[in-house]
Structure 1
């Protein structure tokens, strides 16, 4: 799902002077990372229980954390903590779809109707490309569900949702716009449909294909597709949702770490780490996963002046460089991972929101600090 996120490995400025018979030689020092740490601390102060980040640049790797991993405890966030990565799953799935296109097992201009007859109204006009770049007009299933802060949201935390069930809920409402390709509207349903198409094309689940084609080849040891597994295996942050039990009282944060991730499915079930997300986006943007022409397709916006291509988003930093990646909202977790086009400069951030404010603006400031030192 879309939109959503970090104390202990800060680097300080060190000047090393090596004495030689001829002269003292100053060795270039790593930059002071205090600004990054203050930015991460601000994210927690404004909008999160805990947060972690990894920044990679020409000066090396900076990993750090802030806040706590679990409310009501002093358990610190660890730099290797796992989290639900939400819509960053979409970039992994889009990579698989484009690999299948490269293998001529599907085409970007294939229609949904050809792959999934009768599943989507107007499916004969909606293409795989429209699904990837959110220009299909297929409604999002998320607004059809009971969502926080409604207490009823918790009643479904263990429920297994099928993709067919969620798609059916979405298409029971009118299209967001028509004709397909004429506008942009973010819809998680698009990626449920892509997951089904991948399964038809390969005869394997989309999760198996992501594991086989991306996770294992890149040795992403902290990354998994959990399916219906309710737990986050290994070290992780606890996540929370706001629930209002009484109309006259403020919402209470309820632990939502364990839940059935079929709620997110092909559009958001991924569990990962900041290190793994940086490794994935570097491999993607430097051509290890896709040939150049398909990577170019991925970077092409679906609408004029858009900032979302085929499962890949981008933004321009205040200092100039464009950064590519995605962000993810998994209800109780939010994550952000962006990389420069050459793969030399990266930042991945994850947090457990406390819902006092939207963390996006504070995270944007931190990303600017990471890419514009």
Structure 2
């Protein structure tokens, strides 16, 4: 499987003086619930599970789980990563493995239950919240986002339906390398600064749109989800991180998952993130960038919590049947500059915050279709995938030293080992 980069553009700025660390935006479920007391809308209750609507019985034949292949897969990029963690769950097999070290100084091993930054996996949580708001009749997917955020986009833009934000067909442009620090030394220097989502959108819309008619093509990007997060904040009156906490993290008891707003730390056990910075002598050195501003796509979780989230999502515990259908609908449009090496082979392959892909089988065996999401930020790359019937689920994280963006060679290696 191949995929476009899932990088969520980082908010960057100089660390001198280093900002005082703020408390977590979501300290606990009690904190999240207290904030909404007296609000116009009560804290939502998770809908009852709708397995008939949410879980599709897959005909894909799953091979027997191969622990040796999985261990070889996570150890397959020793020069590009410092540590790897992977977990396979489900009735078709269980396995957990690690590789490398959590800290290059102490040489401590990667903790099996360690936390990591989610990057663009945060998009799946945002999509879920938006779909919950549609079930509450507070957001209409067919209405233009300009109805909810009238002053955000340029006046000459066409109507951008909310649905197109979620399924990557909005036609909104993306930030470029010139908009934010992107070289290794600049990333290190500017990793603590905070740019509001509105500022990121304002920078992005200075660039040409990738196509003219919203909904007619698909291309992966972050700008649509910046806007979707702002939509959540406008409709609810709370930060999107707080809405994720009260609507998803608290009902599912995801105690190892947090949605910080500006706190740069990772609490609890975790592998450190590093970036390789070129040196004047032609060499390079690893710089610890574990602490960084988390605002855009900065959720933190574990493989165990991601597994719980996947099970709840695909069992219909978070979304009613109509919203589950929306979640799993891949638009029938072309992918911008798509080709035979893409999961969609030239056609769209993203739904509302999820990727649909087929992992090719070996030795002439049929491929296995999976749904999930990849994510990446500086020092961390991760993902979660499942067969539609939840027979086999995968969650992984690794620590690349090459900067932002998914190392798709290693991602593909882990996916093939888990599902093929």
The answer to whether the superposition gives a TM-score over 0.5 is yes
| 1:340 pairs with 2:374 | no
Q: CA deviation at 1:242?
A: 2.9
| Residue-by-residue CA offset, 1:246-291 (whole Å, 9 max, x unaligned) | 4x725433211001112xx2xx111111111111111111211112
CA distance in 2, matches of 1:202, 1:146: 29
Asked whether the 8 Å contact 1:144–1:170 carries over to 2, the reply is no
SS at match of 2:371: strand
Residue 276 of structure 1: aligned partner = 305
SS at match of 2:384: strand
Q: CA deviation at 1:124?
A: 4.9
CA distance in 2, matches of 1:100, 1:201: 9
State which of 175, 186, 195 in structure 1 corresponds to 2:220: 186
CA distance in 1, matches of 2:310, 2:159: 32
Cα gap change, 1:35 to 1:179, in 2 (>3 Å)? same
CA distance in 1, matches of 2:117, 2:69: 27
Which ranges of structure 1 fall in alignment gaps of 5 or more residues?
Answer: 5-29
State which of 127, 131, 148 in structure 2 corresponds to 1:94: 127
SS at match of 2:214: coil
CA distance in 1, matches of 2:371, 2:66: 25
| 1:255 pairs with 2:288 | yes
Residue 127 of structure 1: aligned partner = 161
**Worse-superposed segment, 222-231 or 51-60:** 51-60
Q: CA deviation at 1:142?
A: 5.0
- Paired residues in the alignment total 341
| Residue-by-residue CA offset, 1:215-246 (whole Å, 9 max, x unaligned) | 11111111110110010011111101233354
SS at match of 1:42: coil
CA distance in 2, matches of 1:270, 1:277: 11
Asked whether the 8 Å contact 1:132–1:310 carries over to 2, the reply is yes
Asked whether the 8 Å contact 1:111–1:123 carries over to 2, the reply is no
Residue 316 of structure 1: aligned partner = 358
Asked whether the 8 Å contact 2:376–2:406 carries over to 1, the reply is no
Q: CA deviation at 1:214?
A: 0.6
State which of 236, 245, 248 in structure 2 corresponds to 1:214: 248
Residue 19 of structure 1: aligned partner = none
Q: CA deviation at 1:98?
A: 0.3
**Worse-superposed segment, 351-360 or 156-165:** 351-360
Residue 11 of structure 1: aligned partner = none
| 1:286 pairs with 2:333 | no
Residue 2 of structure 1: aligned partner = 6
Q: CA deviation at 1:358?
A: 6.5
Over the aligned positions, Cα root-mean-square deviation in angstroms equals 2.2
Asked whether the 8 Å contact 2:174–2:207 carries over to 1, the reply is no
Q: CA deviation at 1:299?
A: 1.6
Cα gap change, 1:358 to 1:258, in 2 (>3 Å)? closer
State which of 81, 91, 96 in structure 2 corresponds to 1:48: 81
Residue 355 of structure 1: aligned partner = 402
Q: Highest CA radius of gyration, 1 or 2? A: 1
| Residue-by-residue CA offset, 1:103-142 (whole Å, 9 max, x unaligned) | 1111111211111112112455111111111111211225
Trace 1:100-139 onto structure 2 (pairs within 5 A): 100-121=133-154, 122-139=156-173
SS at match of 1:143: coil
Asked whether the 8 Å contact 1:40–1:51 carries over to 2, the reply is yes
Which ranges of structure 2 fall in alignment gaps of 5 or more residues?
Answer: 9-63, 335-346, 362-366
SS at match of 1:64: strand
TM-score between both structures, scaled by the size of structure 1: 0.85
Q: CA deviation at 1:47?
A: 2.8
Residue 26 of structure 1: aligned partner = none
Cα gap change, 1:74 to 1:150, in 2 (>3 Å)? closer
CA distance in 2, matches of 1:149, 1:223: 30
SS at match of 2:186: helix
Q: CA deviation at 1:147?
A: 3.7
SS at match of 1:282: helix
Asked whether the 8 Å contact 1:53–1:348 carries over to 2, the reply is yes
**Worse-superposed segment, 46-55 or 295-304:** 295-304
CA distance in 2, matches of 1:237, 1:35: 23
